[in-house]
Amino acid sequence: MLELLAYLQDSELVARFQRCCGLYLIREGAESHHNMSRNQTCRTGTAHKDEACGQPRQRFDNNSNAEYKENGHCVKNGRRPEYEVRTPLLHLLFLFSSGLGHEVFYISCLPWLHWNLDPFLCRRLVNMWTVVMYVGQVLKDLLKLPRPLSPPVVKLEKRVVAEYGLPSTHAMAATAISFTFLYSAPSRIQFPFEVGLIIAVTLSSLVCLSRIYTGMHSVLDVICGLFISSCILFVTYPFWDTFDHYQLTSPFSPVFGISLPLLLSYTYPKLDHYSTTRGDTTTILGVCAGCSVGYWFNVQLGETFEPKEALPVPLPEITTTSFTYGTVRFVLGVLALVGTRQLVKMFSLHVLYWIYKVPKSDLNARKRKEIEVPYKFVTYTSVGLVNSILVNRAFVYMGLL
């Protein structure tokens, strides 16, 4: 069993998958992979046939890791290894799939559901996304298992390279969002379940494979992410409707919706080195807090913007008019959220820098817990409130709903 786990965690397995997909690491000092013969001996290892792909691969001596950070980020000569892409379409597909787990996707796709389809689905997805992401981020900083080493792996992302690897929160989020939608939507919208299942499996699989392709996770990281997310969905599924009713109707809901995420942000496990996990977790908790309070207020104000027809409703017919209105809602809504994010972020940082007597030029101050947690929480709670309360009302006044 331990041998299997070690094999699934092996960086060479990730590098082999990358080469199968046409992504090759170019060793420093080499002009091009094409100038190297298949049997050429390398300075730190020997090239030989990869039985799975029929392509050369390099095996590195154990001592080669001395030139790299413990968590697998190459720092030799202050530069990352160069790489060669031989299948551009597959490369773009995996980069796009990996992007489905980043902020730009969450700040656009989830609100799009609220503005154009059904706020209920957005609320359900935000709740489950928050739970699985919090569990995944905390596990990373408790288990402290490294990401794949580079070399032999090509690493295509810089921002999260200092984070630990297991579990893959991209895999967790993709699984949670895809299958939460799949099991929640049939009661709201009429669609073929089989088609939804194919789409859910395809999207989650692409995101999982993209994390291996980009070199950010081992196979074990991805498998564990899938397993943990599936367990969370299985355990929580019987309570989804009960929690939804409490969230919308209980007089304690707004207090609970703000205080619990804020508490979890401040009690996040202590970091042994700075990474983006605490800040990203606070961001997610802030969004959830803002949306939770916002949805509760919508019920109190008597307008939830949910479908008024008998459920489940047919899928909206796509016409030129509906497409145009949907596009305008999407563009204006995203602009509102991004504008809110920038304004509140700037104001909250200004206040916190003044409180803690920090010069505005000190960008590293944002990494301090007493600054990072409150500014991110306030910023993204505001984004959640604007999304859930204000945007749809603005659309009504503008005649877009």
Q: Which of 33, 48, 170, 245 is catalytic?
A: 170
CA 394/CA 397 separation, integer angstroms: 5
CA 106/CA 377 separation, integer angstroms: 16
CA 155/CA 148 separation, integer angstroms: 9
Taking alpha carbons only, the member of 19, 14, 31, 17 closest to residue 72 is 14
Take residue 307 and report the two structure tokens written for it. Answer: 């479908």
170 is catalytic: yes
CA 166/CA 142 separation, integer angstroms: 10
CA 115/CA 329 separation, integer angstroms: 7
Residue whose tokens read 């290894």: 81
Take residue 213 and report the two structure tokens written for it. Answer: 């392709």
Q: Which of 48, 73, 91, 217 is catalytic?
A: 217
Beta partners for 45? 60
259-264: long-range contacts (C-beta < 8 A, 24 or more apart)?
Answer: 261/130, 261/285, 261/286, 261/288, 261/289, 261/377, 262/289, 262/377, 264/134
34 is catalytic: no
Catalytic residues: 170, 217
